[in-house]
Chain A
């Protein structure tokens, strides 16, 4: 689950559903906003979900708290090896939020990650992600 700003909203529902169903598989959220102090949307809920094991991992990017600015795609790249590992293990990938910048930047990061850790060239990485999309395992809700 990758979301910036209000793009985090559907994941809250995902979590609530998974908690209600008692889903056992691991889950991982990348969330980005401007300031940790004021913009960590639903902070307390994510903390509780982590503590309860409903959410397995949480990576955060607050762009205005540190120089240089860090965004979700930067955190994604930093965790590239594990992200690729999850995809290989059958993970479903969701991207939600800004369509103009965030989604294309995240896509570029994913291409690089797949290329680097999957030992593919650029075309190979594009094809890998296209196949994920075809299998409905890489889904976007961007606006």
Chain B
């Protein structure tokens, strides 16, 4: 589309509300997300909230879920589903203090099934919280200066930031901006403190949501900051990604990538994952205005009729990347500079101890699928609490659902090491390259979207694939494998070298050919198949890879060269 042509505005905010999707009316009529949440929370006849309130509560980081394992049993008992809530914390960049960790530990033990879950967007999720405990949990978070604002909903989600502990100074500079970006872009409605803290309604002079208005965004909007050479945050999966450009270890500015997003719907060819497009470079002090410009283009032009077509990636592909870039620049009042050169090498986490340039030490622990729980042979929850009680630095939750005990003064390391050994948390060296690069979403039994197992199944499947890797001598080769229980992509499966997405119980689509550091989408190789077909296909392709790979060649690159799948050059060709 030419920059001078007016784009099609028949599906965006310019239309009357009754011409748009039902969620737009719901948001507009919700009195800035208040709805009837207060009434729903005290309704005693059900453990659920009203359907409209369940949608609004997502804007406060809370999802209503139910235990799907016992749905049928309860239906026979004439009981409603076992409803509970998932609360997701807003934790920009995944950085937290030991006292925040201890609070989460306490809330997790008391109100959330004695477990904590680290997410693929660097935060905690508390699962199985009852309706009556939600306020207590959220007020507990407030005690340590945390909230759950906008962790879900049609707004900006948790802002990510590369955890790289080696580049201490650069991380510090970028992290501060990531936090600032999150605070800036998060919704401002007073509903949050009224509903969750019991605050009185304040009457402000100006608009309650100066940026978002009454209808917020068409869909979720994800922002992330990557610090090369690590692409741990999968910057190309973000709606708005910033790639830090440094000179002599000092932050200069960012390359701007727009339009990433991995969600899709099975058998809906108009939906597809898309990797972000790098459109230029900005100086670091232009960050906040750039966020406003990009987000406002999506706010104003995004599709508000069909939610499956509402992410920024579709707005970009519908209007054209050049038109969108021009519109962003028009709103900024200046042209973006050409993108600066940069290089990514990996999107995984190097495990174990490492020393930062400031001399402090950092230990990355492998947390399989982010699940922190005490088991008889691995009391992980207890171990991390013991560490948090003595640790003086910070913790960082990584985008691969691992945990860094960060900023350890050299003198403190022996104490940490001793606790790691005492609680069997020091096994980071003894796992296969595949397992260390594995990632799964929560799926069954709590996620309402799941069609198949994910977190509860991937570890077993990886064990079986490890058998194949041993046969072919590939145990130590890092290969990314990611599984989700549905096509929505929470564990970013479409940029894994081996991607698996659930179709039905025990059935998955198998994808191959993703880029090792997140630079290329994969392509479906097998559709709707069970474990034996998956293992057979991997045995063949991994065996072939072991025999005929070129020096340094990654499995994802090989799968394309050897012709197992064709290269996906752009998201809109993903389903071809």
Q: Interface residues, chain A, CB within 8 Å of chain B? A: 36-38, 40-47, 50, 58, 60
Contacts and interface: CB of A to CB of B under 8 A. Distances in A.
Interface in B67-83: 75, 78-80, 82
B44 A43 contact: no
Given A43-B80, A47-B80, A37 B47 contact: yes
A40 B79 contact: yes
Contact of A44 (B44, B47, B80, B82): B80
18 contacts: A36-B47, A37-B47, A37-B82, A38-B79, A42-B78, A43-B45, A43-B78, A43-B80, A44-B78, A44-B79, A44-B80, A45-B78, A46-B45, A47-B45, A47-B46, A58-B45, A60-B44, A60-B45
A47 B83 CA distance: 15
Chain B residues touching A, majority SS: loop
A43 B75 CA distance: 10
Q: Which 3 A-B pairs have the closest CB atoms?
A: A44-B78, A42-B78, A43-B79
A40 B44 CA distance: 11
Contacts of B44: 60
B45 A50 contact: yes
Contacts of A42: 78
Interface of B: 44-47, 75, 78-80, 82
A60 B43 CA distance: 11
B84 to A, nearest CB: 9
Given A43-B79, A47-B45, A50-B45, 5 more contacts: A36-B47, A46-B45, A47-B46, A58-B45, A60-B44
Contacts of B79: 38, 40, 43-44
A41 B80 CA distance: 10
Chain A residues touching B, majority SS: helix
Contacts of B46: 47
Nearest to B81: A44
Contacts of A46: 45
A58 B45 CA distance: 8
For A44, A45, A46, the residue with the greatest tally of chain B CB atoms inside 10 Å of its CB is A44
A42 B79 CA distance: 6
Nearest to A66: B132
Contacts of A60: 44-45
Contacts of B80: 43-44, 47
Contacts of A47: 45-46, 80
A89 to B, nearest CB: 24
Contacts of B82: 37
A44 B80 CA distance: 6
Nearest to B82: A37
A44 B82 CA distance: 12
A50 to B, nearest CB: 7
A21 to B, nearest CB: 23
A97 B75 CA distance: 25
B220 to A, nearest CB: 31
A55 B151 CA distance: 39
B269 to A, nearest CB: 39
A11 B80 CA distance: 19
A46 B45 CA distance: 9
Nearest to A58: B45
A82 to B, nearest CB: 16
Contacts of B45: 43, 46-47, 50, 58, 60
A101 to B, nearest CB: 23
A41 B78 CA distance: 7
Nearest to A62: B44
A49 B82 CA distance: 20
Contacts of B75: 44
Contacts of A38: 79
A58 B47 CA distance: 15
Nearest to A65: B132
A136 to B, nearest CB: 30
A18 B45 CA distance: 21
A46 B44 CA distance: 12
Nearest to A43: B79
A50 B82 CA distance: 20
A34 to B, nearest CB: 14
A50 B45 CA distance: 10
B392 to A, nearest CB: 38
Contacts of B78: 41-45
Nearest to A44: B78
A35 to B, nearest CB: 11
A36 B45 CA distance: 9
A40 B47 CA distance: 11
A42 B78 CA distance: 5
A44 B75 CA distance: 9
A119 to B, nearest CB: 31
Contacts of A43: 45, 78-80
B439 to A, nearest CB: 32
A50 B46 CA distance: 12
A60 B45 CA distance: 8
A38 B44 CA distance: 14
A135 to B, nearest CB: 31
Nearest to B75: A44
Contacts of A40: 79
A76 to B, nearest CB: 15
Contacts of A37: 47, 82
A66 B82 CA distance: 18
A36 B75 CA distance: 15
Nearest to B83: A37
A37 B78 CA distance: 12
Nearest to A61: B44
A142 B79 CA distance: 25
